[in-house]
Every structure is written in structure tokens, then in C-alpha cells.
Amino acid sequence: MNQLQNFTKGFVRENPILMLVLGCCPTLATTTSAVNGLGMGIATAFVLVGSNTVVAMLANLIPDKVRIPSFIIIIASFVTVVDLLMKAYVPDLYETLGIFIPLIVVNCIVLGRAEAFASKNTVLSSAIDGLGMGLGFTMALGILGAFREILGSGSVFNYRFIQGDGILVFILAPGAFIALGYFIALVNRVKNK
């Protein structure tokens, strides 16, 4: 598989949210606005690229018996870096995302890519795969967050363009399920045409 295919498969064909339906907990919980969705997506993308790169570098050195715990330690190291950087440079977003930043460690997208791809491929291919999957995840979270913010509060990126109240359910948990369901259905409909 060439590098361009590694990069682009995360956007639609193997998008973690839209096709594989992985990482739904942070998707549903953090996409109350476009800013939150993009913030969570960028944080996860950073962890994906970093952990995929390091796992690919060390894959031949890690014994099979401790492979998964080793991957988790590598992932946790990158999550710690993201956690500290967000706390220092974007404290408002850090407070909003809360517990979901440290939970990137157990996000099945990150561990799945480390196990299924990075441990079996070159460093460059693994980094490109992590970037593609991360940007696909970020795109899905950003669009879903924007959709929920527009319908729920009549604004996007905190720019209000509809006066009055929005449809409150889209800011709440049930709205996340509804919006994600319609988003997945729309993508599948377009993909199948």
C-alpha cells in the first residue's frame, strides 16, 4: 500500500468514527461544540502519530509477552505530554475536555493502530497512518461538534448567528447519539452511491 493510501484511508474508507465506529465515548462526550471537537481530535492525532512512530521503531525489540503493556506505556507517555501542553497553553479547553484527555490512553483507536498497523510496518508508514487516522478523527469530531453547536445554540466557533435558543437536545447526550447516527447514515449513503 503506498503512502498516500495510508494517509487518506483515515478520512473516509477507514475513518475511526464513521466507518469503524471506534472511540465513541470521547466523540459523544466532547463534541458539544466545534472547538471542543477539534481540540480533542488534535490531541488524539498527536498521540496517534507519536505512539505509532515509537511503536514502529521499537516493534522488533519488544517481546510478545509484554507487547500490549509496552504499547500502553508508550501511548501514556504521549498523552502525558498532551495533557501538560494543553494545561499550560489552552487552559480553558483543558478544563472543558477534563477527564477525556487522560482517557486517550485507553482509546481503542490509538491502541488498535499501534497493534494492527504500527507494530507491523515501517516508521514512515506508521507515522503517515497515524496522521491520516488522526486527521480523519479530528475532521469527524470537528464536523459533529459544529453540527451540534449550530443546532443546539445557534452558533459555531462561539460566533452566534441565530438569535434565541437552539434545540437544547443537541447540546445534551441524547443529541450526540442522534447527530452521530445521522452523520454516519449520511456518509454511508454518499459512499454507497
- Could you write out the DSSP letters of every residue in 28-90? HHHTTSHHHHHHHHHHHHHHHHHHHHHHHHHTTTS-GGGHHHHHHHHHHHHHHHHHHHHHHH-
More confident call, 163 vs 30: 30
Cα(21)–Cα(15) distance, integer angstroms: 8
Cα(160)–Cα(25) distance, integer angstroms: 27
Region 71-99: mean pLDDT is: 96
Region 114-130: mean pLDDT is: 94
At residue 1 the predicted structure's pLDDT band, cuts being 50, 70 and 90, is low
Helix (H) or strand (E) holding 125: helix 123-153
At residue 55 the predicted structure's pLDDT band, cuts being 50, 70 and 90, is very high
Quick check: 84 pLDDT over 90? yes
Cα(98)–Cα(107) distance, integer angstroms: 15
Region 22-45: mean pLDDT is: 93
Quick check: 2 pLDDT over 80? no
pTM of the model as a whole: 0.92
pLDDT for the residue numbered 192: 85
